[in-house]
């Protein structure tokens, strides 16, 4: 709906998390009449609501007024609102459409966008891409779904003055589902797996929202895609734009079989463009990131940064000084000869399996939390020959023990601990021996015990510190 001439646009925002607050602030700055609503009313939602009221927004907490929302010119829905939420069902019945917060923000972003998504690795790839851009002479800003203090929501980036030369956004499937006109200059798909089965009715539905990235591009978009992932390559097929691939499997005849990209060969990270010989930008051994999957993330970031305008020749320094991100295979200490690694962001089976494959055994694995509906037997191949013990916990702990216990092999102990997180970690610590790695890679979300994966990872880090003391 287009506001009438001379009338202030009416913007309704559903959900008062960080992205909802940022969208409301952006709308207020742009002169809109803003109505913000959230079903919750306790802190920190109440504090955000009070701050927005002071700026002139109309705020309703503890419920939604569907009629009021339906009267807005633009409705913005925060990513945490599930599609089946009653407020959305009511709007759907009225024929009201809505957009995601990044879509709303993109209406006020004039510079080019690099958009990163995928099932796993998108945060590291987006952060490293922005880091390489800055090292390569581009004033780049990072944000979107990335959270964790690493970057603000897209709407906050849209208010930056002066505006950055380029914005790098990490977007989730929830955010991609509700975009309309957001068009990436560079789009990155790290990989495609299974996730969020607690929200989606099928893997196909989840992938359908990821596909919105490609549907949002045009002939001028450069796509950075995972040549080692058949699902990614199939999804990208047929869309307009330039295709750059990244691969851990090396190149074909010295170059990737598309328009160029990046690849790993003989321990070197190479970047190639169509018609040009590949150049080595760094050695894989120079990366400070743990794991082969992080080499893939680095290759994706190299290709994306090159497509986004980074000057060639500066990648090595940027790759060498990029530190592991919090909660992503983050070493947090060594206690009595046992290395503690925090991979709290491994909130699905594929991410946990990747973490296991990235570390040398023996490993004591902490896994569990809020059940997302995945089959935990997908971890079995990664457990065998590498994991000494699995300590399952939380809401999904019993099912995890049942599904892993029969197939992990006699060399692997699988036990479920029904107790607080400190007790769970204490059991795992007791099973670990000097030289082992105590790995938190939950394969689940965190909401049974914690506010989010960051809260969970911080608790694990704190327990490592207590043990060291």
Give the number of other CB atoms < 10 A from CB of residue 279. 13
Question: Are 42 and 173 within one domain?
Answer: no
Question: Are 197 and 158 within one domain?
Answer: yes
User: What was the pLDDT predicted at 196?
Assistant: 93
CA pair distance 462, 457, nearest whole angstrom:
9
Extract the residue ranges of the chain whose pLDDT is less than 70. 1-6, 251-258, 468-469
- The domain that holds 239 is classified in CATH as 3.40.1190.10
Judge contact between 264 and 295, C-beta under 8 A. yes
CA 173 to chain centre: 9
Question: Are 431 and 399 within one domain?
Answer: yes
What are the distances in angstroms from CA 447 to CA 203, 277, 318, 321, 423?
Answer: 22, 49, 35, 33, 18
Judge contact between 170 and 19, C-beta under 8 A. no
- Residue 297 domain flag: yes
CA 136 to chain centre: 24
User: What was the pLDDT predicted at 3?
Assistant: 58
Reference 339, options 320, 356, 362; nearest CA is 362
| Torsions phi, psi for 437 (to 5 deg) | -115, 125
- Residue 3 domain flag: no
Question: Are 250 and 208 within one domain?
Answer: yes
Token digits for 183?
A: 């068009």
Question: Are 157 and 247 within one domain?
Answer: yes
In 7-61 the beta strands, taken as DSSP E runs, fall at 10-14, 33-38, 58-61
Domain count, the chain: 3
- The domain that holds 390 is classified in CATH as 3.90.190.20
Question: Are 346 and 297 within one domain?
Answer: no
Domain stops at, among 294, 320, 346: 320
Question: Are 138 and 59 within one domain?
Answer: no
Q: Residue 8, SS3?
A: coil
Q: What is the DSSP string of 251-272?
A: -BTTB-SSSEEEEEETTEEEEE
Question: Are 164 and 197 within one domain?
Answer: yes
Question: Are 291 and 342 within one domain?
Answer: no
Tokens 């993109």, located at residue: 106
- Residue 104 domain flag: no
- Residue 5 domain flag: no
192: left (phi over 0), alpha (psi -120 to 50) or beta: beta
Judge contact between 228 and 296, C-beta under 8 A. yes
- Residue 325 domain flag: no
Please write the tens of the pLDDT for every residue from 150-195: 899 999 999 999 999 999 999 999 999 999 999 999 999 999 999 9
CA pair distance 116, 114, nearest whole angstrom:
7
- Which residue range(s) make up the domain with 40? 10-97
Domain stops at, among 72, 97, 122: 97
- What are 370's strand-pairing partners? 445
Based on DSSP, count helices (H) and strands (E) in the chain, helices before strands.
17, 20
Question: Are 230 and 256 within one domain?
Answer: yes
Domain stops at, among 97, 130, 155: 97
- The domain that holds 90 is classified in CATH as 3.40.50.720
CA 160 to chain centre: 23
* CB neighbour class for 86 (10 Å; exposed up to 12, middle 13-18, buried from 19): exposed
- Residue 2 domain flag: no
- pTM of the entire predicted model: 0.89
- Residue 1 domain flag: no
Please write the tens of the pLDDT for every residue from 328-382: 999 999 999 999 999 999 999 999 999 999 898 799 999 999 999 999 999 999 9
Question: Are 170 and 286 within one domain?
Answer: yes
What are the distances in angstroms from CA 124 to CA 4, 268, 303, 453?
Answer: 43, 20, 14, 15
Reference 137, options 2, 341, 323, 317; nearest CA is 317
Question: Are 120 and 205 within one domain?
Answer: yes
User: What was the pLDDT predicted at 259?
Assistant: 73
């Amino acid at each position: 709906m287009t506001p009438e001439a001379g009338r202030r646009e009416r913007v309704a925002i559903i959900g008062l998390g960080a992205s909802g607050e940022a969208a409301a602030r952006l709308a207020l700055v742009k002169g809109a009449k803003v109505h913000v609503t959230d079903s919750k009313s306790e802190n920190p939602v109440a504090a955000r609501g009070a701050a927005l009221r002071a700026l002139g927004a109309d705020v309703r907490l503890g419920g939604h007024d569907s009629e009021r929302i339906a009267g807005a010119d633009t409705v913005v829905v925060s990513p945490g609102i599930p599609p089946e939420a009653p407020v959305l069902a009511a709007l759907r019945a009225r024929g009201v459409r809505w957009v995601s917060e990044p879509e709303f923000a993109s209406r006020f972003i004039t510079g080019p966008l690099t958009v990163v998504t995928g099932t796993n690795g998108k945060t590291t790839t987006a952060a490293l891409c922005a880091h390489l851009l800055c090292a390569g002479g581009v004033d780049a800003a990072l944000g979107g779904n990335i959270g964790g203090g690493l970057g603000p929501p897209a709407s906050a980036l849209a208010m930056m003055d002066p505006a950055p030369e380029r914005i790098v956004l990490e977007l989730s499937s929830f955010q991609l589902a509700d975009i309309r006109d957001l068009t990436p200059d560079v789009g990155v798909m790290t990989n495609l797996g299974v996730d969020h089965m607690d929200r989606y009715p099928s893997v196909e539905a989840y992938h359908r929202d990821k596909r919105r990235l490609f549907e949002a591009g045009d002939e001028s978009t450069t796509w950075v895609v995972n040549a080692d992932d058949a699902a990614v390559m199939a999804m990208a097929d047929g869309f307009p734009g330039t295709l750059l691939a990244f691969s851990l499997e090396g190149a074909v005849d010295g170059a990737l079989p598309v328009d160029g990209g990046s690849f790993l060969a003989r321990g070197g990270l190479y970047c190639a463009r169509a018609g040009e010989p590949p150049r080595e930008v760094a050695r894989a051994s120079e990366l400070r990131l743990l794991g082969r999957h992080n080499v893939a993330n680095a290759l994706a970031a190299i290709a994306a940064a090159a497509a986004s305008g980074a000057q060639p020749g500066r990648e090595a320094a940027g790759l060498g000084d990029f530190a592991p991100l919090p909660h992503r295979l983050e070493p947090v200490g060594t206690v009595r000869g046992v290395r503690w690694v925090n991979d709290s962001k491994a909130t699905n089976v594929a991410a946990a399996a990747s973490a296991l494959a990235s570390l040398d055994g023996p490993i004591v694995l902490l896994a569990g939390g809020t059940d997302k509906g995945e089959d935990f037997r997908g971890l079995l191949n990664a457990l065998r020959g590498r994991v000494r013990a699995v300590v399952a916990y939380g809401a999904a702990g019993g099912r995890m023990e049942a599904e892993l216990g029969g197939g992990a092999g006699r060399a692997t102990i699988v036990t479920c601990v029904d107790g607080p997180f400190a007790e769970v970690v204490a059991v795992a610590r007791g099973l670990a021996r000097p030289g082992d790695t105590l790995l938190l890679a939950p394969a689940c979300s965190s909401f049974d015990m914690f506010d989010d994966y960051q809260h969970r990872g911080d608790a694990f880090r704190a327990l490592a510190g207590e043990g060291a003391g």
